[in-house]
Amino acid sequence: MSDVVIVTGASRGIGAGIAERLAAEGMAVACVARTLDEGSSHLAGSLASTVARIELAGGRAAPFVADLADEAFDARQIVDAVEARLGSVTHLVNNAAACFYLPFADIPTKRIDLSYRVNVRSPWLLAQAVLPAMIERRSGSILNISSASSERPTGPPFPDRGIGGAAVYGGSKAWLERATVGAAVELSGTGVSANTLSPEYAVITEGADAMMSDLAERDDIICEPLATMAEAALALLTGDADVLTGQVAYSLSLLRALGRPVLDLDGVTLVDGWQPPDFPTALLREP
**What residues are annotated to the active site?**
146, 169, 173
| DSSP bridge pairs for 196 | 144, 248
User: Is residue 34 a contact partner of residue 70, using CB atoms and an 8 Å limit?
Assistant: no
Helical packing angle, 167-187 and 109-116, nearest 10°: 30
